[in-house]
Amino acid sequence: MDDTTDAELIARHKRGDQAAFEQLVLRWDTRVLNLAYRLACDREEAREIRQIAFMRAYRGLAGFNGDARFSTWLNRVVVNIWRDRVRQQIKRRRDPESGEPVPDRPETGALPCPSAVSEQREAGRIVAEAVAALPDAEREVVALRHYQGLTFAEIAEVVDAPVSTVKTRMSRALVRLRGWLKGVEL
């Protein structure tokens, strides 16, 4: 295993070493794809988000100053891309009578998103569907906390919100999930 740190790879990349960026991509590819998938609930969409994220990372790495960890910065890039795509989709889908945006999925207890992990056992599929049905802001914090393993402080940095807001979103998400999953055999 390569013991080179992200900071060392970034410094090498800034000096013109293209292989250093390739190592960063290899190191973070799976986690970026997993986060994108947990947010978008669609494999093709997740792949597109991943591709855009690494293109933006490549262009933006020169300005990366190391105030945050690279992983936090990269997670923020992924979340921002996903948010932009959601906003674009909402703009395109409007109710013909009211002109109001029509959401992809209801914010009720319905679980419309296809299974996020169809190859895993039934319990994992049910939980993944429940997470996918969460409102966007709540799904972000759940994905970053439980699937990416970030702390509340790191999540706050990624989503550009106070830690108290992140904790509130997590609390609301857990209440929704408990309600939806109550009585479901996992």
Q: Tell me, what's the pLDDT at 3? A: 85
Q: What is the pTM of this model?
A: 0.71
Q: How many whole angstroms separate alpha carbon 141 and alpha carbon 136? A: 9
Whether 133 and 180 have beta carbons less than 8 Å apart is answered as: yes
pLDDT score recorded for residue 101: 53
Task: Encode the chain (186 residues) as per-residue pLDDT tens digits.
Answer: 578 999 999 999 999 999 999 999 999 999 999 999 999 989 999 999 999 999 999 999 988 888 889 999 999 999 999 999 988 877 766 555 666 655 544 443 434 444 433 434 567 778 888 888 999 999 999 999 988 889 999 999 999 999 999 999 999 999 999 988 887 765
CA distance 134 to 111: 9
DSSP annotation of 147: I
Confidence at residue 1, expressed as pLDDT on a 0 to 100 scale: 53
Q: CA torsion 29→26→51→146, rounded to 10°?
A: 10
Sign of CA dihedral 102, 146, 76, 117: negative
Please give the pLDDT value at position 120. 42
The class (CATH top level) of 109-186 is mainly alpha
Which residue ranges make up each domain of the chain?
1-104, 109-186
pLDDT at 96: 57
3-state helix, strand, coil split of the chain in percent (to 5) is 70, 0, 30
CATH architecture of 1-104: Orthogonal Bundle (1.10)
Report the C-alpha gap between 137 and 23 in whole angstroms.
Answer: 31
Q: What per-residue confidence (pLDDT) applies to 148?
A: 87
pLDDT at 66: 84
Sign of dihedral through CA atoms 164, 161, 54, 13? negative
φ, ψ for residue 102, nearest 5 deg: -110, 115
Provide the pLDDT for residue 12: 94
Q: How far is CA 169 from the centre of its chain?
A: 15
